[in-house]
Amino acid sequence: MKMTPAAIVAGSLLILISVVLVVIVLPYANTSKTLPSDLFRSRTAMEEKGRALYVSNGCVYCHTQSIRSIDWGLGAERLAQAGDYLKDYPILLGSQRTGPDLSQQGGEHPDDWHQAHFTNPRYTRPLSIMPPFEFLKQANLDLLIHYTQSLGLKNADLRMERQTLWKKRSVNAYEAGVNENVAWIHDNVPQGWRDIPTPYPATEAGLARGEKIYQDFCFGCHGPVGDGMGPAQPYLYPPPLNFTILKGRGISGGIIYYQIMNGITGTAMPYFKRELESEKIWDVGNYIAKYFIDEIDANEEPKGIDASYEP
């Protein structure tokens, strides 16, 4: 083959043109006709402004918005569909998960949690390696939170309604006083859970494991001594629960377990069922009960069948 300048330039351009026809124009012809998915809605002006901040601060380099069939974590209940992205301009799928996927972040936490988190991510998530975004100033932080709370669109709206409803209830309970607040928290735990003590003994090893979990997950809000005065506290309302006042107020291992597992929607207390397996929740519950509440029911009756590993 004779490689003349014309053959090289025209040949490679012709190849490029035909490739573009096949891999860009042809898919465009059908993907541009995608119909809206079940959760699709347009974003409000404020949400679009927040999205612009998301773009300009490079959030897309660490957070994907692309749920795959193999995913487990946040948002895994809803596989991404082409119809979710109809107004994404540009699309922000992301290519790295240095932080969690945010496709369904909207309504996962109340606004005040995000306020603390953006101010310094380690306030709410002690192990986070996300940069602090306090420099954005309040007006921009509000926009960014607005956008964050819209992620998941219609699904996010449903979750936000739930957050608003329970925010009101939790604030009412908090403002009614300590006794009422604790009673309200306990009342929202199903009876079966309230009745069971921690089924495992509070061994030295178990408490050490619980301490590690506490420092990795709970420390930011509930503080080093469990009095609810962690670094996130000034941003949160109702404020994080002070464990040290719970003694003699009908606490049980089951209540602690249930609240850690399920969270308290409307407050900054997230659910940890995705992040912590059963034993880890019991261990951290024992740790809190032993050192902060000073009232522990580990390994008490009713126990059921004796666990085989017990010494």
Partner 1 sequence: MPENPTRPDTATYLTARGFCLTSAAWMMLATLVGFTAAIELVAPDLTGNISWLLFSRLRPMHVNLVLFGFATPALLACAFYMVPRLLRTGLYSERLGVITVVLWNIALVALVITLALGVTQGREYAEMIWPIDVGIVVAFSLIFFNFMMTVKNRKEKILYVSVWYVLAGTILTACTYSLGNVIWQPDSGALVGIPDAILLWFYGHNVFGLLLTPFSAAIAYYIIPQVCRTPLYSHTLSLLGFWALIVIYTHIGTHHLLQVPVPTWLKVVAIVDSIAMVIPVMAFLINIWYTARGKLGLISEDIGGKFVFTGTIMYFIVSIRGSMMALPDVQRVTHFSHWVVGHAHVGVLGFAGMIALGGVYFILPRITGKPLYSQFLANFQYWMILIGVVGFTIVLTISGLIQGNAWLNGETVYRVLPQIHIYNIVRASLGLLIFLAAVSGFYNIFRSLISNPGETS
Find all residues with CB under 8 Å of 189, minimum gap 6, and list them.
254, 255, 258, 259
Q: Give least dist CB 120 to partner 1, A.
A: 7
20 counts as binding partner 1 under rule CB under 8 A: yes
Find all residues with CB under 8 Å of 4, minimum gap 6, and list them.
none
> What's the rounded Cα separation, in Å, for the pair 277 and 273?
7
275 counts as binding partner 1 under rule CB under 8 A: yes
Site map (CB under 8 A) of partner 1, residues 177-216, x = contact? ---------------------------------------x
60 counts as binding partner 1 under rule CB under 8 A: yes
**Given the complex with partner 1, which of 169 and 212 has the nearer CB atom?**
212
Token pair recorded at residue 236? 């949160």
Answer for which of 71, 211, 227, 300 binds partner 1 (CB under 8 A) is: 71
72 counts as binding partner 1 under rule CB under 8 A: yes
285 counts as binding partner 1 under rule CB under 8 A: no
138 counts as binding partner 1 under rule CB under 8 A: no
Q: Give least dist CB 59 to partner 1, A.
A: 6
**Given the complex with partner 1, which of 83 and 190 has the nearer CB atom?**
83
86 counts as binding partner 1 under rule CB under 8 A: yes
User: Do 251 and 157 meet the contact criterion of CB atoms below 8 Å apart?
Assistant: no
> What's the rounded Cα separation, in Å, for the pair 3 and 9?
10
1 counts as binding partner 1 under rule CB under 8 A: yes
Answer for which of 42, 44, 61, 250 binds partner 1 (CB under 8 A) is: 61
Token pair recorded at residue 14? 């012709």
58 counts as binding partner 1 under rule CB under 8 A: yes
Token pair recorded at residue 121? 């991510």
Pick the closest to residue 298 from 191, 308, 288 (CA basis). Answer: 288
Q: Give least dist CB 25 to partner 1, A.
A: 10
Site map (CB under 8 A) of partner 1, residues 115-134, x = contact? -----xxx--x-xxxxxxxx
Amino acid present at 93: L
Pick the closest to residue 170 from 105, 236, 219, 233 (CA basis). Answer: 236
**Given the complex with partner 1, which of 59 and 256 has the nearer CB atom?**
59
> What's the rounded Cα separation, in Å, for the pair 102 and 151?
7
**Given the complex with partner 1, which of 85 and 219 has the nearer CB atom?**
85
User: Do 284 and 218 meet the contact criterion of CB atoms below 8 Å apart?
Assistant: yes
